[in-house]
Structure 1
Amino acid sequence: MAQQRMLTFVSVARQTPEKRPPDLRVDDFGEIYREFSQDKAAEQAGRCSQCGVPYCQVHCPVNNNIPDWLKLTAEGRLREAHEISQATNSFPEICGRICPQDRLCEGNCVIEQSGHGTVTIGAVEKYINDTAWEEGWVAPIRPHAERPESVGIIGAGPGGLAAADRLRRAGVQVTVYDRYDRAGGLMTYGIPGFKLEKPVVMRRVEYLRDGGVNFVANCNVGEDISFNAIRGQHDAVLIATGVYKSRELTESGHAASGVVRALDYLTASNRLSFGDEVPEFENGELNAEGKRVVVIGGGDTAMDCVRTAIRQNATSVKCLYRRDRANMPGSQRETQNAEEEGVEFVWLSAPKGLEGDPVTGVHVQKMRLGQPDATGRQTPEVIPGADYLEEADLVITALGFEPEDLPTLWGVPELEVTRWGTIKADFRSHATAIPGVYAAGDIVRGASLVVWAIRDGQEAADSILDYLGQAAQVAAE
């Protein structure tokens, strides 16, 4: 009977969870996708072909056992499905919401390649793990035995929290230091609520705190405490700061009032959702209401900005991107959602300069795609004489992020970095040049996905456990 529930992709069509209508969802910051019902989740999970080489799993950064928990979901064995999902992923209910499944697991689904439409893996992952929280199946972190070793983690984003989760399960004493007043990193202050509601993140933070993780908030390493002081207090240290330094416009007028960084803009909006006082929002600096908004960039951060501006009742929202739709780095799913909500995309367009102070417009130069560069992507070329002025009252720059100069900021010149400014760490162990110091996540690989940071954090935790075990063995000898 169980087998009959699988392999139904030839008779059951792909179906995603219902989206709230655009005219309703733009009035709030709630998540736009409704939850699967149990029957619908089981039906969609049953479309899995249970193929011998599961490309969905191969293309998942944390190597989720996707066919297994899809089969269990189809059979109604949700608690077991959750346990298998949780075994490989520290935050499955978060990844189910924000992973670009269209580029990872679902984009590589075998039945998708055969023309039958991919299994809705992300929606099922979200459903089984939300159900686990509701039913009380998420087991608290209770190590079999406490260990005396202590690890300090700098950064409370997904990489740092994933490492904290794994280390605490092994009984290690963990302290997480973070510059913000709330843990979660960009999951808390960067990603808008319509993609990831904040109670989902805070629930995980409280789960870790209940499991024995100690959080030190509002702690800026290099100012409030030195890096060497943290090293002195712990047996090992993990650097998981992420990358927060925004790439800046260099065109004329870039310093004008009304030109703001994407992260500043998104952080202000997310703080409002917590009920914080945000003076920059109240005085209009980081508030799009009644303004003609232009967002520059084509990644997921740009998508977050344009959709936030729509919800803040901007008069108009346009997104400038120098390549075309097919070549943009952001999720196609998010682009579609943004268009449904009223965002206008201006493809093959790049800023040449800004007009006015406060800003009144963006000088736009039209582009065409030329020969491929070293990465294989076609290089944008300016079309002579095709410039025009795009009127704007608020310009948001979403050009990506770069690492801060940590060796200088922290006074640790022996902390080696790459030519891109990221920390140099072993690809497998995540060990840096400093004994007992590890690094994981975006500060090593550059701005990337939450799921990659989770994988890095888990791997780094395993390496730290090996290091602590070896140190204990040497001490015993």
Structure 2
Amino acid sequence: MAERMLQFVSLPQAQPDKRPASERREDFGEIYRAFAVERAEQQASRCSQCGVPFCSVHCPLGNNIPDWLKLTAENRLEEAYAISAATNTFPEVCGRICPQDRLCEGNCVIQKGFQAVTIGAVEKFITETAFEKGWVTPNLPTSERSQSVGVVGAGPAGLAAAERLRSMGYQVHVYDRYDRVGGLMVYGIPSFKLEKSVVARRHRLLEAQGIVFHLSTPIGSDAGETPLEDLRARHDAVFIATGVYRTREVMVPGVGLEGVVQALDFLTASNRRGYDDDPGEDAGLHARGKRVVVIGGGDTAMDCVRTSIRQGATSVTCLYRRDHANMPGSMQEVKNAEEEGVAFAWLAAPEAFLGDGGVRAVRAHRMRLSLPDATGRQSVEVMPESHFTLDADLVVQALGFEPEPLPEMWNAPDLAVTRWGTLKVEPGHFATSLPGVFAGGDIVRGASLVVWAIRDGRDAADEIHDYLSVHAGSDRAGQALEAAE
């Protein structure tokens, strides 16, 4: 073991410098500055190189974190990037948006007495250095295969599957209803967490690898849409990675008032403005000069409150029915929001939205934590006679996402779904009820993290490869290669 490791006993934890709240409230730039080489080496050297690396165990991708921390501490950055990229298709994304405090860093063995190693910041440093030095190149196949795979969805699961299948030599075509590659990474996650140039840079690499993108190409049975059966006829296998885009409604009186909007609509409009697109209905989906109330406690809610601050809201309040300790979102995101001026109304839930045509207030009631439910999490109950009112000109519902009814939308009644509406696959596998059609990511597991979507995409690609290895004689194979050429 290198002598420079185990420095946690003498070196304190140090995160990258964060731009002052007064400065970052004014723009959508990323809030953390980059590590310098010396500082990244120092922070990486704090790793204890423990025998059972719980950071890796609790990483959905099983990243070899102690290995690339050690290589970083020794200034062997090209090797560190190679180790990182071996298990992660998009380390530049995970280093920025993964909730490390709940995953790798939250399970670091030194965190109790010495604070965790800053794994996410070092991962971002390694990857950005690799891009700067030209070490990141398209993962070209060593030989071509005639079989083709159609991937529905250009989000993290679809892109991870496409990259891995293309590296094996398959002819890969990605279809997406939106006009840009990235899915929620582009239109759902604000730029202050993930600058869009990062996703565009990866898009260029995937194109250079030979992946063909068909953007603004929705799948469905309506006019102008591509039927699923056409994709099945065109390709030897299809991978569905559409994600979940239908947002949950707050079922209270007044939900139909003007100014009560969905989180995804609000964030998409904001991100489109960053591209200088016209998002439509600009006034209704902009927080400038408004009193904003965001309902929810996850990372999407934090994205909405922090976006509202940057858009010039006069006040921003997050209404969440549990307390701070039980919030599902990243604690670091909550801290950032508080620094930027967001107020939190803990243990509170909406009872009605008030207004005449447009929303003017949220009537809420206080909640209290009760006995644990079947999952072990404390349930909540309404406190009697605890009503209060929050003034609001814009209410953003950020209660999570549900799957769209794909069998109905795609006229595919044989595409089986679960009772939650997600696509049905065998546990631990990705094959759907339709032969040659696979699915993964949020459309299977429900709304989850980007890192889990990447894991599903990589694993699904391996399963599709096994399937195609058995079905190597397809008549469509030669046609697909001819079309690709």
When normalised by structure 1's length, the TM-score is 0.98
The correspondence for 1:139, drawn from 130, 137, 152, is 137
1:404 corresponds in structure 2 to 404
Q: Distance in 2 between matches of 1:231 and 1:298?
A: 40
Q: Distance in 1 between matches of 2:471 and 2:428?
A: 19
Q: Distance in 1 between matches of 2:391 and 2:385?
A: 19
Letter in 2 for 1:267: T
Question: Does residue 232 of structure 1 match 2:230?
Answer: no
| Cα shift at 1:110 | 1.0
Secondary structure of 1:472's counterpart equals coil
Q: Distance in 2 between matches of 1:419 and 1:442?
A: 15
1:116 corresponds in structure 2 to 114
| Cα shift at 1:19 | 0.5
1:363 corresponds in structure 2 to 363
Question: Does residue 24 of structure 1 match 2:23?
Answer: yes
Q: Which runs of 5+ in 2 are unaligned?
A: 478-485
1:449 corresponds in structure 2 to 449
Q: Distance in 2 between matches of 1:342 and 1:349?
A: 19
CA offset digits 1:401-434 (Å, max 9, x no partner) = 0001111111111111111010011232311121
Secondary structure of 1:379's counterpart equals strand
Letter in 1 for 2:155: G
Q: Distance in 2 between matches of 1:423 and 1:265?
A: 27
1:181 corresponds in structure 2 to 179
**Residue pairs, 1:291-306, within 5 angstroms:** 291-306=290-305
Question: Does residue 265 of structure 1 match 2:266?
Answer: yes
1:341 corresponds in structure 2 to 340
Secondary structure of 1:52's counterpart equals coil
Secondary structure of 2:60's counterpart equals coil
| Cα shift at 1:435 | 1.4
Question: Does residue 73 of structure 1 match 2:72?
Answer: yes
CA offset digits 1:172-203 (Å, max 9, x no partner) = 01111111000100000000000000000111
Letter in 2 for 1:331: S
Q: Distance in 2 between matches of 1:405 and 1:351?
A: 28
Secondary structure of 1:81's counterpart equals helix
1:252 corresponds in structure 2 to 253
2:316 corresponds in structure 1 to 317
The correspondence for 2:151, drawn from 132, 150, 153, is 153
Q: State whether residues 147 and 472 of structure 2, in contact with CA within 8 Å, keep that contact through their aligned partners in structure 1.
A: no
Letter in 2 for 1:41: A
Q: State whether residues 138 and 209 of structure 2, in contact with CA within 8 Å, keep that contact through their aligned partners in structure 1.
A: yes
The correspondence for 1:125, drawn from 123, 127, 130, is 123
Letter in 2 for 1:279: G
Q: Which runs of 5+ in 1 are unaligned?
A: none
Q: Distance in 2 between matches of 1:86 and 1:294?
A: 40
Letter in 2 for 1:203: R
Secondary structure of 1:271's counterpart equals helix
Secondary structure of 2:229's counterpart equals helix
Letter in 1 for 2:359: V
Q: Distance in 1 between matches of 2:241 and 2:369?
A: 37
Distance 1:25 1:474, change over 3 A: closer
Secondary structure of 2:413's counterpart equals coil
**Residue pairs, 1:76-87, within 5 angstroms:** 76-87=75-86
Q: Distance in 1 between matches of 2:278 and 2:410?
A: 30
1:435 corresponds in structure 2 to 435
| Cα shift at 1:474 | 9.1
Q: Distance in 2 between matches of 1:88 and 1:216?
A: 27
The correspondence for 2:209, drawn from 208, 211, 224, is 211
| Cα shift at 1:131 | 0.6
When normalised by structure 2's length, the TM-score is 0.96
Distance 1:385 1:14, change over 3 A: same
Distance 1:386 1:461, change over 3 A: same
Letter in 2 for 1:209: E
| Cα shift at 1:388 | 1.4
Letter in 1 for 2:58: H
Secondary structure of 1:188's counterpart equals helix
Structure 1 segments of 4+ aligned residues over 2 angstroms from their partners:
426-429, 473-476
Q: State whether residues 137 and 205 of structure 2, in contact with CA within 8 Å, keep that contact through their aligned partners in structure 1.
A: no
Q: Distance in 2 between matches of 1:148 and 1:451?
A: 30
CA RMSD after TM alignment: 1.2
1:419 corresponds in structure 2 to 419
| Cα shift at 1:285 | 0.6
Letter in 2 for 1:177: Y
Count of residue pairs brought into register by the alignment: 472
Q: Distance in 1 between matches of 2:239 and 2:85?
A: 23
Secondary structure of 1:383's counterpart equals strand
Q: Distance in 2 between matches of 1:189 and 1:474?
A: 37
Letter in 2 for 1:73: T
Q: Distance in 2 between matches of 1:120 and 1:321?
A: 29
Secondary structure of 1:128's counterpart equals helix
2:388 corresponds in structure 1 to 388
Letter in 1 for 2:154: A
Q: State whether residues 430 and 438 of structure 2, in contact with CA within 8 Å, keep that contact through their aligned partners in structure 1.
A: yes
The correspondence for 2:161, drawn from 156, 160, 163, is 163
1:375 corresponds in structure 2 to 375
Secondary structure of 2:89's counterpart equals coil
Q: Distance in 1 between matches of 2:380 and 2:241?
A: 34
CA offset digits 1:321-355 (Å, max 9, x no partner) = 00000001111000000000000000000000010
| Cα shift at 1:473 | 7.0
Q: Distance in 2 between matches of 1:175 and 1:418?
A: 27
| Cα shift at 1:139 | 1.9
Letter in 1 for 2:378: Q
Letter in 2 for 1:111: I
